[in-house]
Structures are given as C-alpha cells and as structure tokens.
Amino acid sequence: MALYSDKVMDHFENPRNVGVIENADGVGEVGNPVCGDIMKMYLKIENDTIVDVKFKTFGCGSAIATSSMATELIKGKTIEEALDLTNKAVVDALDGLPARKIHCSVLAEDAIKAALVDYYTRTGKKMPESLVGFEPHED
C-alpha cells in the first residue's frame, strides 16, 4: 500500500491557494519546534465569512497537502464553520496520513485559528469562546 493517498499527493504536487493576501484581515503563523516547519495563513473576511484564504508553508509534503486541503475546506465558509474544522477532518478529507505525519495537519488547524485570533485582535470584535486563550500545539 502506498504511504500517501492520491489526494495527499495531488495536494502536495498541486497545492491550492498558495500565496499571500496583501491586505489580509487576519494572518496567522505557527511552527512546529520539533521539525522546524512553518505555516502562514492569510484570511480575507467579509460579514463573518472567509471570502479568500491563502497560505505559505515552509515545510514537509504533508504540511503542504494539509494546508492546501484546509484552505479548500474553509473558503467561502463562515468563521463559525472554520472554527469547527479539526485537523482530523482535514486528514479524513485527504483519505488519511501516516501516524507520524498527523502533527503536520495540526499546523493547518492551528494556523487558521491563529489567523482568526489576529482578525479579532485587529478588529476589536468579540472573540468566540473557543478562541479565547488559544495557544498553538507544541508538537
């Protein structure tokens, strides 16, 4: 059996939504201190909806594939829906990842949350309960 699913390979080789949003409403950057990989997520938000999202990942193939899939899953969704997106849902959407690569998908979930924290901090809007005190995972 192949180590990586076709979907993982597809999103690694043709990642969606790569880039930078210059006038983003929220930017989140997270890193994994163990492997040293870094992910940056840019959100454009209108009426509590994520109208655009882009990412830059300096990291492994699984981190690139999960960021790509995560952006696809939150684009056009409300903030509330984006907050419900777990790394597990991203992994499932990619038809799985090897166990030792699950931490890569955590970066994607954390980067989205960090970008939303930035959005609420900048706008001064009331942060949803689930984001208050948010800290990216350490491993």
Residues forming the active site: 35, 104
Q: Least CB distance from residue 62 to ligand FES, whole Å? A: 5
CB of 20 to ligand FES, least distance (A): 20
Total Cβ atoms within 10 A of residue 68:
26
Classify each residue of 84-109 as buried b or exposed e, where b means 16 or more C-beta atoms within 10 Å of its C-beta.
ebebeebbebbeebeeebebbbbbbb
End-to-end CA distance of the chain: 27
Interactions with ligand FES, residue window 56-115 (CB under 6 A):
59-60, 62-63, 104, 107
**Range in contact with ligand FES (rule: CB under 6 A) among 31-39, 46-54, 90-98, 119-127:** 31-39
Q: Which is nearer to ligand FES, 2 or 34 (CB)?
A: 34
Please provide residue 16's backbone torsions phi and psi, each rounded to the nearest 5 degrees. -90, 150
Cβ atoms of 55 and 126 within 8 Å: the answer is no
Q: Residue 96 or residue 127: which is nearer to ligand FES going by CB?
A: 96
Applying CB under 6 A, what is the total number of residues that bind ligand FES? 9
Of residues 32, 67, 68, 71, which one binds ligand FES by CB under 6 A? 32
Among the residue ranges 3-11, 19-27, 54-62, 119-127, the one whose residues contact ligand FES (CB under 6 A): 54-62
> Is residue 44 within 8 Å of residue 20, measured between CB atoms?
no
Q: What is the distance between the alpha carbons of residues 60 and 8, in angstroms, rounded to a whole number?
A: 12
Which residues are near ligand FES by CB under 6 A? 32, 35, 37, 59-60, 62-63, 104, 107
